[in-house]
């Protein structure tokens, strides 16, 4: 049981001209020496005379109108349809596309299980049979008992675009609050079910996002966080402000939910709330952005009229409560420990009673949780998992033996449990579920997944390379056994590099299908992530964001110099913050890459903070509202760095028309600008999914279509033989 602020996480490049710093590209030579008839005809995109003044610098934004919501702006909707026509026609012309889709579908078609969790006396797990759009939640009375369906999101919509967005069981496991999201939106609607009978209760909670639900011990209701109801037509673009914690009593309308905590004087603050397992304490974590820094308050629910008591009162460090024994609380923190440590404190005395249980280690502490009377501490050692099973005094009980390079997850439970479950996966191996007996410490395979993919044909290696400033950066390379090192291999380089997120090895049917096509996969662990703790993260933030791009460019140069591939055979991919990464590096080194796949990217670094959750990201990026931040942001903003007369690599931008995390206007504007400025004959396209959001909850059918289209695009532009 953890409560923290998890929520939703330089070289100035100056253009050699002044005044209006986004010149028109209309007169540039886009032919690249080819006859005009050999180039794609892109839809005409209207330009507007929009110029903004940022601290004395005039910046043009000719495609501002593409920021408008496609749901309400007919001109934007028409532009989307016209762009999709061009993209669909190009993809349809690829002879291998149908065969690629068939193979992708086959690789998606395998059963995928979550690790079980014990809820009261029952066990709960999710399973996707393979091609179901959404995973189904099952429940069983014992581990070897018959499983029955508890929730089937596939029945909630015909096209699978309504997804399960969260679950919270009451202490007995007899009541379930669950959240639904539509078309990939971050907005969630909570419902309540009687678990034993499957009967739906009339309760409905709306206008929640970036938070869960937590039941009171008496099971009469639950705590949750919500935002005010937005104005009609602004649901998917307006800023999310004035979060608050409420308590919903079963049977009462939401309008009567009691206000537990709010800070109207701090409209940008967000809140998460969770009831400790003993039911006595409510832990409130307060966050302001994506940085792992939070305030911490604890309310004694057994004391009538008690208010939340401040334990941590400054946004200086990360504090995550993982459990308690009475008034003794256990937590992880990076206070005086940039790689994090485990501490305890007495809630009555706050941090005056702070006691170190496990000091900072050489490895970074990624996560910790409690099951039974043990703390499971999950570390990363050079991006490889290391799990230690600790007693509550911090002493080591044992290390959990893991099978190699991969990712481990799980190790959760309740204090009364006598077992815990975890998963282990790697790039070439789907997740295997293990059951760990807490008394003996013995792990046994609980459920192994079979997929039509032979892991023995592929090797997973880890290499280290030097970035531009000499920093040692790790990278995983997955390749077919015996693949020649002569520069001929089509290679996909993937990266993220932001928000303290660590890119550990995971199994993806998308990546597996790329390997199956004969490609090599490389995943670089860039600065900005969390692979080596706070210092690694901060080395890729704000004015140091260029380090992330330098790390990725150096990864590409390493793959070329070591003859894993060559520039004409090297494709690059990233999503969200990783989409920003791809957009930035193709504007800085367009000649280095053979193809680019930026997905749902943050492409306009001067305006991201004005939409939905964008204001949170200023922790990592800074804000153009600040003069110093503006200079750094403008130096790499992909939309603004596109230059006339440049031959960009073949590019397929992907986004979704209903993404309300990174609003699709980012990708729309970038694609329009790219098509305007591109001087070569290589295709520069945008693929716009309908009724899909940022990625969470995306139906499997849409994921298969998108994967097949990406790989068909790469097969074409990288000239891969099939």
Q: Is the pLDDT of residue 504 over 70?
A: yes
Please give the average per-residue pLDDT across 498-520, as a whole number. 96
Same domain, 507 and 633: yes
Write down the residue that tokens 């078309």 correspond to: 183
Residue 245 domain-assigned? Answer: no
- The answer for residues whose C-beta is within 8 angstroms of residue 89's C-beta and 6 or more apart is none
SS (H, E, C) 257-320: CEEEEECCCCCCCEEEEEECCCCCEEEEEEECCCCCCCEEEEEECCCCCCCCEEEECCCCCCEE
pLDDT for residue 11 is more than 70: no
Query: Which one of the listed residues 576, 623, 631, 667 is annotated catalytic?
Result: 576
437 & 463 share domain:
no
Taking residues 553-581, what's their average pLDDT?
A: 98
How far from chain centre, in Å, is Cα 715?
27
Does 614 map to a domain? yes
Distances (CA, A) of 668 to 58, 63, 108, 145, 619: 22, 9, 29, 51, 25
**Digit-coded pLDDT (tens) for 295-341:** 999 999 999 999 999 999 999 999 999 999 999 999 999 999 999 99
DSSP 157: -
Whether 9 has a pLDDT exceeding 80, the answer reads no
Segment 558-576 mean pLDDT:
98
Residue that has been written with the tokens 């419902």 in this structure: 191
Residue 631: CB atoms within 10 Å: 18
Domain boundary, last residue among 388, 416, 450: 450
Q: Is residue 306 part of a domain?
A: no
Is 262 designated active site? Answer: no
Judge whether residue 262 has pLDDT over 70.
Answer: yes
Question: Are 441 and 504 in the same domain?
Answer: no
Judged against a pLDDT cut of 90, whether residue 8 lies above it is answered with no
| pLDDT tens-digit map of 270-288 | 999 999 999 999 999 999 9
How sure is the predictor about 670, in pLDDT bands with cuts at 50, 70 and 90? very high
357 and 484 assigned to the same domain: no
Question: Residue range 6-15: average pLDDT?
Answer: 27
Query: Could you give the number of structural domains in the chain?
Result: 2
Residue 658 is predicted with a pLDDT of 80
Arithmetic mean of pLDDT over the chain = 92
The verdict on whether 576 is a catalytic residue reads: yes
Tokens of 195: 């678990």
The DSSP line for 199-246 is PEEEEEEEEE-S--EEE-TTSSEEEEEE-PPPPTT-TTTS-----EEE
Does residue 442 sit in the same domain as residue 476? no
Question: Mean pLDDT, to the nearest integer, of 29-53?
Answer: 71
**Residues 336-387: tens digit of each pLDDT:** 999 999 999 999 999 999 999 999 999 999 999 999 999 999 999 999 999 9
Q: Tens digits of per-residue pLDDT, 460-496?
A: 999 999 999 999 999 999 999 999 999 999 999 999 9
Residue 8 placed within a domain: no
Q: Are both 496 and 535 inside the same structural domain?
A: yes
pLDDT tens sequence across 198-242:
999 999 999 999 999 999 999 999 999 999 999 888 887 788 899
Which range is least confidently modeled, 272-276, 403-407, 523-527, 668-672? 403-407
One domain for residues 392 and 519: no
Pick from 389, 423, 450: which residue ends a domain? 450
Element (H, E) at 356: strand 350-358
Distance CA 688, CA 44 (A): 17
Question: In CATH, what number is assigned to the domain containing residue 441?
Answer: 2.130.10.120
Q: Which residue has the higher pLDDT, 185 or 57?
A: 57
Q: What is the pLDDT of residue 16?
A: 26
Q: Residue 15 — pLDDT band, cuts 50, 70, 90?
A: very low
Average pLDDT of 553-566?
98
- Whether 546 shows a pLDDT value over 70: the answer reads yes
Residue 429 placed within a domain: yes
- Per residue, the 3-state secondary structure of 466-507, as one string, reads ECCCCCEEEEEEEEECCCCCCCCCCEEEECCCCCCCCCCCCC
CA angle 444, 445, 451 (to 5 degrees): 170
Asked whether the predicted pLDDT for residue 6 surpasses 60, the reply is no
CATH number (domain holding residue 562): 3.40.50.1820
Q: Is 143 contained in some domain?
A: no
* Low-confidence winner among 230-234, 421-425, 559-563, 569-573 (lowest mean pLDDT): 230-234
Q: How would residue 117 be classed by pLDDT, with cut points 50, 70 and 90?
A: very high
Residues of the chain with pLDDT > 70: what percent? 94
The answer on 692 and 623 residing in a single domain is yes
**Does residue 14 carry a pLDDT above 80?**
no
* DSSP 8-state assignment for residue 635: H
Q: Examine the pLDDT at 407 and tell me if it is beyond 80.
A: yes
Assigned domain for 221 exists: no
* HSE-CB of 527 using CA atoms within 13 angstroms: 28
Determine the Cα–Cα distance for residues 236 and 663; give it in Å rounded to an integer.
8
pTM: 0.90
Q: Determine the average pLDDT of the residues in 121-137.
A: 96
Q: Which pLDDT value is given to residue 483?
A: 93
Residue 37 has pLDDT above 70, yes or no: no
Is 60 exceeded by the pLDDT of residue 503? yes
- Over residues 586-609, the mean pLDDT reads 98
Range of the domain at 588: 41-46+63-105+459-717
| C-alpha span between 562 and 31 (Å, rounded) | 33
Residues 611, 481 within the same domain? yes
pLDDT digits (tens, 9 = 90+) for 138-174: 999 999 999 999 999 999 999 898 999 999 999 999 9
Mean pLDDT of 256-273: 97
51 falls within a domain: no
* Pairwise pLDDT comparison (88 vs 4), residue with the higher score: 88
Question: Considering 427, 450, 473, which residue would you say is the last residue of a domain?
Answer: 450
C-alpha distance from residue 161 to each of 14, 71, 154, 363 (Å):
43, 16, 9, 40
Residues 677 and 701 in one domain: yes
pLDDT of residue 27 exceeding 60, the answer is: no
With cut-offs at 50, 70 and 90, classify the pLDDT of residue 695: low
The residue-averaged pLDDT of 649-661 equals: 92
Q: Do 352 and 330 sit in the same domain of this protein?
A: yes
Residue 612 and residue 708 in one domain: yes
The percentage of residues in the chain with a pLDDT greater than 90, rounded to a whole number, is 87
What pLDDT, on a 0 to 100 scale, did the predictor assign at position 38? Answer: 60
């Amino acid at each position: 049981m953890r409560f923290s602020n998890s929520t939703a996480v330089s070289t100035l490049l100056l253009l050699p001209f002044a005044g209006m710093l986004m010149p028109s590209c209309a007169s540039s030579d886009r032919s690249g020496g080819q006859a005009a008839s050999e180039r794609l005809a892109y839809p005409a995109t209207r330009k507007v005379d929009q110029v903004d003044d940022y601290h004395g610098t005039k910046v043009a934004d000719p495609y501002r109108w593409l920021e408008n919501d496609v749901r309400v702006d007919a001109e934007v909707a028409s532009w989307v349809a016209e762009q999709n026509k061009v993209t669909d026609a190009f993809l349809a012309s690829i002879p291998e596309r149908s065969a690629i889709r068939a193979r992708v579908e086959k690789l998606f078609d395998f059963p995928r299980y979550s690790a079980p969790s014990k809820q009261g006396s029952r066990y709960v797990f999710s399973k996707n049979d393979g091609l179901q759009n959404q995973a189904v939640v099952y429940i069983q009375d014992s581990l070897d008992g018959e499983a029955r369906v508890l929730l089937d999101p596939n029945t909630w919509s015909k096209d699978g675009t309504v997804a399960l967005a969260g679950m919270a069981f009451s202490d007995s496991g007899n009541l379930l609050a669950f959240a639904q999201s539509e078309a990939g939106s971050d907005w969630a609607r909570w419902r309540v079910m009687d678990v034993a009978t499957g009967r739906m209760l009339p309760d409905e909670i709306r206008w929640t996002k970036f938070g869960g639900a937590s039941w009171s011990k008496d099971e009469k209701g639950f705590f949750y966080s919500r935002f005010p109801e937005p104005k009609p037509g602004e649901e998917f673009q307006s800023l999310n402000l004035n979060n608050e914690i409420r308590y919903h009593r079963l049977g009462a309308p939401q309008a009567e939910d009691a206000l537990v905590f709010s800070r109207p004087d701090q409209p940008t603050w967000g809140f998460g709330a969770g009831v400790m397992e003993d039911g006595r304490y409510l832990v409130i974590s307060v966050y302001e952005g994506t940085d792992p820094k939070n305030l911490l308050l604890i309310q004694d629910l057994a004391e009538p009229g008690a208010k939340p008591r401040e334990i941590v009162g400054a946004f200086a460090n990360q504090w995550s409560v993982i459990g308690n024994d009475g008034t003794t609380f256990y937590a992880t923190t990076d206070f005086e420990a940039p790689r994090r440590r485990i501490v305890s404190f007495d809630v009555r005395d706050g941090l005056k009673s702070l006691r170190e249980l496990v000091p900072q280690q050489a490895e970074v502490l990624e996560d910790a949780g409690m099951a039974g009377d043990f703390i499971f501490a999950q570390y990363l050692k050079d991006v490889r998992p290391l799990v230690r099973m600790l007693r509550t005094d911090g002493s080591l009980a044992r290390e959990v033996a893991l099978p190699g390079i991969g990712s481990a997850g799980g190790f959760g439970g309740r204090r009364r449990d006598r077992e815990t479950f975890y998963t282990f996966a790697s790039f070439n191996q789907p997740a295997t579920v293990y059951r760990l007996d807490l008394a003996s410490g013995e792990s046994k395979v609980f459920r192994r997944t079979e997929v039509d993919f032979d892991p023995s044909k592929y090797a997973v290696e880890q290499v280290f390379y030097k970035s531009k400033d000499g920093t040692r950066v790790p990278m995983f390379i997955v390749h077919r056994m015996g693949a020649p090192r002569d520069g001929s291999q089509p290679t996909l380089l993937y990266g993220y590099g932001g928000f303290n997120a660590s890119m550990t090895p995971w199994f993806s049917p998308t990546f597996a299908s790329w390997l199956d096509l004969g490609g090599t996969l490389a995943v670089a662990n860039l600065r900005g992530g969390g692979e080596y703790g706070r210092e690694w993260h901060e080395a890729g933030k704000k004015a140091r964001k260029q380090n992330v791009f330098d790390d990725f460019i150096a990864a590409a140069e390493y793959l070329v110099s070591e003859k894993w591939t060559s520039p004409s055979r090297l494709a690059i991919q990233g999503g969200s913050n990783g989409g920003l990464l791809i957009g930035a590096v193709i504007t800085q080194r367009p000649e280095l890459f053979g193809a680019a796949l930026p997905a749902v990217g943050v492409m306009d670094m001067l305006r991201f903070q004005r939409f939905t959750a964008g204001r949170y990201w200023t922790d990592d990026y800074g804000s153009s509202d600040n003069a110093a931040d503006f200079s750094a942001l403008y130096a790499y903003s992909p939309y603004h760095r596109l230059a006339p007369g440049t031959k960009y690599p073949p590019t397929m931008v992907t986004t979704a028309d209903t993404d309300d995390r990174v609003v699709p206007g980012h990708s729309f504007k970038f694609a329009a600008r790219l098509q305007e400025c591109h001087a070569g004959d290589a295709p520069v396209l945008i693929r716009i999914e309908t009724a899909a959001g940022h990625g969470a909850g995306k139906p499997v059918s849409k994921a298969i279509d998108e994967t097949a289209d990406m790989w068909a695009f790469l097969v074409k532009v990288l000239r891969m033989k099939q």
